[in-house]
Chains A and B, each alone.
Chain A
Amino acid sequence: MAEVMVITGTRKGIGRYLAEYYIGKGYQVIGCSRSEMDDELEGYEHFCLDVADEKAVQKMMRQVRKKYGRVDILLNNAGIASMNHILLTPLSTVKQIFETNFFGTFLFAREAAKIMCKQKYGRIVNFATVAAPLKLEGEAAYAASKAAVDNFTQVMAKEVAPFNITVNALGPTPVATDLIKGVSDDKMDDLIGTQAVKRLGTFEDIVNVTDFFIREESDFITGQTLFLGGIS
């Protein structure tokens, strides 16, 4: 039977790539986003929801368990960004960023782990960012929400380790997606200049890390955040 993988934020960008990549590798992939997919993917089931809606997330994960019997892997990819000076940032923006990036990650991780703890196996991969360790100006709310994900990953890793569940995070550099479309070329060049390897990240860089974290042999690797591009 195919391993069952849940990926959040699959309508576009990294999430969409992850869905197609893992369908191609034979996984049963279940994804979600606020809106419907633009097309249909074979071997894929889609849910429309807000990742910060507790009731909706619980219902989705329970339906997944009921239909597929298990959840082996969760890729907590859904995220939003916003660039602004702190003094010009409305609280509503900060709340929105935390709701998607942290509350959404928390809810999916919690509901997935409930299923995984019974099967005594699971792999959870959260999405952090290089914006946190780089302390990027203009990204205070985004970086803070992802720093929360980073710390959450470390604590959760300890709490669910007795159930043979690993929890790790991946910190991508900028990848050419909608998330960075509002960032100027100068700003992007500056950012890439801080990396040891000075180039944009690619989708292939991302799956190289997720593949590693979700391998059955990676059961001794948990509570780690792996930053791409030579950032630490």
Chain B
Amino acid sequence: MRDKIYSIIKEALTELNEELDYDELRDITENTAIFGGSDGIDSLSLVSLVTEVESLIFDELDKSISLADEKAMSMRNSPYRSVSALLEFALSKVEAE
């Protein structure tokens, strides 16, 4: 499950980067920063990314989860701060479903 969600996040980020064309998003690893730091994406792009990850999880894993979170805009605790943070967050939601 972890690998599947990891590949979904990479797929969504790659698609997003077709518009953004950020060097930092060309080679995505678990350490890749997403949101909140100087390398990250802007809040509108974050909305698109989170929405796309939710959709892909529904389409490919048949799990209807929400990745909305109160700590979204927090620099330290945001589940969107990096690929690994988003991966763990999404995994916990899918497993709880």
Contacts and interface: CB of A to CB of B under 8 A. Distances in A.
A114 B51 contact: yes
Contacts of A59: 64
Interface in A25-66: 54-55, 58-59, 62, 65-66
A114 B52 CA distance: 8
A55 B54 CA distance: 13
A54 B66 contact: yes
Contacts of B48: 117-118
B91 to A, nearest CB: 18
Contact of B52 (A54, A66, A118, A163): A118
Contacts of B52: 118
Nearest to B57: A62
Nearest to B47: A117
Interface band, chain A: 10 to 19
Nearest to A58: B64
A116 to B, nearest CB: 10
A162 interface: yes
Nearest to B15: A118
Contacts of B66: 54, 58
B73 to A, nearest CB: 13
Interface string A107-134: 0000000100110000000000000000
Residues of A contacting B: mostly: helix
Contacts of B64: 55, 58-59, 62
A62 B97 CA distance: 15
B1 interface: no
B58 interface: yes
Nearest to B58: A62
B55 A65 contact: yes
A66 B47 contact: no
Interface in B49-71: 51-52, 54-55, 58-59, 64, 66
Contacts of A163: 44
Interface in B19-67: 44, 47-48, 51-52, 54-55, 58-59, 64, 66
Interface of B: 44, 47-48, 51-52, 54-55, 58-59, 64, 66
Given A65-B55, A118-B55, 11 more contacts: A54-B66, A58-B64, A59-B64, A62-B55, A66-B58, A66-B59, A114-B54, A114-B55, A117-B47, A117-B51, A118-B52
